[in-house]
Amino acid sequence: MLSDILVHGLMNGAVYAMLAVGFSLIFGAARIINMAHTAFFMLSAYFIFYFGTTLALHPAIAMPLSIIVVVAIGVLVYYVFMEPVREHGTAVLIVTVSLAMVFQELILISFGGHYRGVNSIITGFVSPMGIRISYQYLLTLGVVSLSLVIVWLVLMKTRLGTAIRASAQDREVANLMGMNVAWIAVATMAISVTLASIAGVMVAPLYTLNPHMWLSPLVLVLAIVILGGLGSIKGSFIGALILAFIEVTVVFLMPGGAFLKLAVALAIMLMILVIRPEGLFGVYLEGER
Amino acid sequence: MTAIGIALRYFRNEILVLPTRLIAVLFVLLLIFLPLLTRDMYILRILSIAAIFSIYAASWDLLSGYVGQVNFGHAFFFGVAAYTTALLNLRLGLSPLITIPLGGIASVLVGLLVGIPCLRLKGPYLGLATLAFPIMLTGIIFAFPEFFGGELGISGIARLASSRLNEYYIVVILMLVLCYIMWKITDSKIGIIFHAIREDEIAVRASGINTTKYKLLAFCLSGFFAGIAGGLFTHFLRVAGPPMLAVLMSFQAIIWSIFGGIVTIYGAVVGVFILFPALEFLRAAAEYRMLIFALIVLLVLRFMPQGITAFFRDKLERECPRCKVRNAITRKECRVCFSGMK
């Protein structure tokens, strides 16, 4: 029981962290609440289904291919639809929600509404402490953790990372210091979609695919991001682990847990928010009140 | 004689001068006299539901547009009222005349419940925290299916009125009255404070206004109107179910209001009366229905980010540069101060 909770909590936490960090990044750099973020996750899961299962390409080709395609779509969509309405906070919301709906409907039309499965990249499992952990789980955990570490290094050690963090802290001043804020936002969008896409590609074999699979992760990602503090990468990471473990614990320990998992996770998020209104690691920027 | 004269003069001087006012009056007249033109049940049904949703969307605009407390979980108010009216009607056998106001009151209480913890939150934090409430309630509804009817919801509720035509008139007249009340609220002193809170809350507090009180008031007012809409909807469809609490239901209020134009109240009504029938008529293209719908919303907002009413209002009318009164675009000089319009 305990080891089950540990394994599933870590796994879900890592995937949620991938999504939440990407969401947080684009919020920081462009002040866009990107409701279509998890739709990119859904898109890449379907692309890996199409390339890997329908066209039967080798995973080593299919995976990078799906990621590249989805990132290209993401950047294009950012240029065409999000960037022009960026100044109108509420319009951005609806533009991104309707983008997600457009993706959902396109998938629904081209793949149909029924549940799909993707073959695992590697089969087999190990069973330490009497629980089965498939290799796909371990691989996903490994890739996801590695990507998170890489993003962390990029953000902390490179010029681009510094620029992203600077524009997240104060866009105007970053602009005045001679950074190309618009270009940074595009680069951030690319990174953010890449993270969502890697998560989608890795998780596809573990989940069942359906065109509505963006909605429930979206709710969780939103909860994680505000729990951790908007724009804070560390916050998103820790928030993801907290909410994932709460969810898994509720599923395993409470009767009717599958229905209540989201409710309990959100209730705990609200309680934390009442104590710390800016999230665990967020800060209010006085200039943007 | 004089009464008619005054009415005619009012019509000529206040309504005929501005094309948007004329459109609004024609719209109201059309809604009221439509049953004389057609008794098609399908059209009446669509317009009745659109009227109910207009109240719902306008109540979102009252809270989120005016006060700036962006609410992502507006379906909470709608759903709580829907379940309250449904349970009161089914378990206690109360008539819609009592259950709908009680549903509204339940939503006011719930508005306080949401408002109090959320008062400390600002901007996106508030929006995303409010998203949690309807989802938590949905979880509870699924966890106790005996009481709340689980996934199927509660059915077998009394009709709103004996015939579809009566229901249409009840709903449409309530919509006109409630939206007018909301519009008047936002036009009053309270409305000015709401505007000010959205623009700069700290400045309002520095002027000695208790913003907490006004924000809570906004939550309660918005909850009340959304609750009335929820109760009407339940009695109209004769079922209360989890879809009324879904994330999509909350988003729909936002889509309608922003599409129509935020911070206007009438924008929300326009948004619903364009988008809701459009979605119904798109049933002809069953498979592509949602795709076309989403594309319309996407493209309209991409090119008119302030909403459709603001876009066309600025095409039809212009503000006088001197006295700030709105004038029809055709006028060469202002209708109040007679200064040139260039």
- Please indicate if any CB of chain A lies within 8 Å of the CB of B70: yes
Reply yes or no on whether the pLDDT at A286 is more than 60: no
Phi, psi of B144, rounded to the nearest 5 degrees: -125, 70
Contact B62, B257 (CB under 8 A): no
Strands of B93-200 (E only): list them.
154-155
- B199 in a domain, yes or no? yes
How far apart CA B73 and CA B66 sit, in angstroms, is: 17
Would residue A236 count as lying in a domain? no
CB contact under 8 A, B288 and A289: no
Determine, for residues A84 and B294 on separate chains, whether the beta-carbon distance falls below 8 Å. Answer: no
Please identify among residues 17-56 of chain B the ones whose CB lies closer than 8 Å to any CB of chain A: none
| pLDDT tops 70 at residue A90 | yes
Q: Which residue has the tokens 């090119």?
A: B303
A118 in a domain, yes or no?
A: yes
**B131 reaches A (C-beta below 8 A):** yes
Is residue A281 one of the residues assigned to a domain? no
Residue B230 pLDDT: 95
How many domains does the structure of chain B reveal? 1
CA–CA separation, A233 vs A230, rounded Å? 8
Indicate the Cα dihedral angle B292, B293, B298, B301, nearest 10°. Answer: 130
Task: Kindly list the distances between the CA atom of residue B275 and the CA atoms of A88, A177, B64, B145, B290, in Å, as whole numbers in the listed order.
Answer: 21, 45, 20, 33, 11
CA distance B77 to chain A (A): 17
Round the average pLDDT of chain A to a whole number and report it. 87
pLDDT at A288 (0 to 100): 45
Residue A110 lies in a domain: yes
Look over chain B and give the mean of its residue pLDDT values, rounded to a whole number: 90
Per residue in A206-219, pLDDT (tens digit) is: 888 888 889 888 98
In a domain, B105, yes or no: yes
Query: Which of B291, B300, B308 best tests the A interface by mutation, with the highest count of A CBs <10 A?
Result: B291
For residue A289, the model assigns a pLDDT of 39
- Domain annotation covers residue B12: no
- pLDDT-wise least confident of A16-20, A133-137, A254-258, B315-319: A254-258
Task: Let me know if residue B242 belongs to a domain.
Answer: yes
* Residues B103-118: tens digit of each pLDDT: 999 999 999 988 888 7
Q: In 3-state terms, what secondary structure has residue B77?
A: helix
Q: Rounded mean pLDDT of A71-84?
A: 93
Backbone dihedral region for residue A217 (phi beyond 0: left; psi -120 to 50: alpha; all else: beta) = alpha
Give how far Cα B34 sits from Cα of A240, B28, B45, B70, B159, Å.
54, 10, 12, 35, 22
The confidence score (pLDDT) of residue A17 equals: 93
B331 touches chain A (CB under 8 A): no
The residues in B 148-167 lying below 8 A from A, measured between CB atoms, are: none
The model's confidence at residue A60, banded by pLDDT at 50, 70 and 90, is confident
| Residues of chain B positioned with their CB less than 8 A from the CB of A105 | 288, 290-291, 294
What confidence tier does A284 reach under pLDDT thresholds 50, 70, 90? low
What lies within 8 Å, CB to CB, of A123 at 6+ separation is A134, A135, A136
Nearest chain A residue (CA) to B135 = A263
pLDDT of amino acid A137: 83
Which of B122, B135, B255 is nearest residue A262 as measured by Cβ atoms? B135
Residues in chain B: 342
> If pLDDT is split at 50, 70 and 90, which confidence band does A129 have?
low
Specify the higher pLDDT residue, A244 or A115: A244
Inter-chain CB pairs, A–B, below 8 Å: 129
Q: Quick check: is B259 in a domain?
A: no
Residue B156 has pLDDT above 60, yes or no: yes
A170 inside domain: yes
Cβ contact B132–A269 (<8 Å): yes
- Binning pLDDT at 50, 70 and 90, where does residue A285 land? low
Q: In angstroms, rounded to a whole number, what is the distance separating the alpha carbons of residues A184 and A175?
A: 10
Among chain A residues, the shortest Cα distance to B70 is held by A90
Instruction: List CB contacts of B205: < 8 A, sequence separation 6 or more.
Output: B211
Quick check: is A137 in a domain?
yes
**Could you tell me the pLDDT band of residue B175, with boundaries at 50, 70 and 90?**
very high
Indicate whether B181 belongs to any domain. Answer: yes
Cβ of residue B116 closer than 8 Å to a chain A Cβ:
no
pLDDT at A79: 92
Residue type, B274: I
% residues pLDDT > 90 (chain B): 54
Number of domains in chain A: 1
> What pLDDT, on the 0 to 100 scale, is given for residue B117?
81
Q: Which domain holds residue A89?
A: 2-212
Q: Model confidence over B178-233: pLDDT tens digits?
A: 999 999 999 999 999 999 999 888 899 999 999 999 999 999 999 999 999 999 99
What distance in Å separates the CA atoms of residue A217 and residue A196, rounded to the nearest whole number?
Answer: 11
**Where residue A6 falls among pLDDT bands split at 50, 70, 90?**
confident
Please give the residue range of the domain that contains residue B137: 40-247
Contact between A190 and A75 (Cβ < 8 Å): yes
Q: Specify if B98 maps to a domain.
A: yes
Interface residue of B302, B306, B311 to substitute, partner A, most A CBs within 10 Å? B302
Which residue pairs, CB below 8 angstroms and at least 24 apart, start in B143-147? B143/A256, B143/A259, B143/A260, B143/A263
Name B240's bridge partners: B154
Residue A227 lies in a domain: no
d(CA A223, CA A238): 12
CA dihedral B125, B128, B130, B136 (to 10 degrees): -130
Q: What is the pLDDT of residue A287?
A: 44
The answer for B 157-216 residues in CB contact with A (under 8 A) is 200-202
Distances (CA, A) of A261 to A181, A239, A241, B57: 40, 16, 14, 30
- How far apart are the CA of B255 and the nearest CA of chain A, in angstroms? 6
List residues bridging with A209 in a β-sheet.
A116
Q: Is residue A282 part of a domain?
A: no
Two tokens at B60? 């979102």
Reported as a single tens digit per residue, the pLDDT across B253-276 is 999 999 998 888 999 999 999 999
Q: What is the dihedral of CA B278, A83, A157, A176, to 10 degrees?
A: -150
- Kindly state whether residue B326 falls inside one of the protein's structural domains: no
Chain A interface includes B147 (CB < 8 A): no
Contacts of A279 in chain B (CB under 8 A): 125
Q: CB neighbours of A118 closer than 8 A, spacing ≥ 6?
A: A45, A48, A49, A52, A53, A204, A205, A209
Given a cut of 70, whether residue A130 has pLDDT beyond it is no
Residue B24 half-sphere exposure, CB side, CA atoms within 13 Å?
18
pTM over 0.95: no
Q: Tell me the pairing of strands A125-126 and A133-134.
A: antiparallel
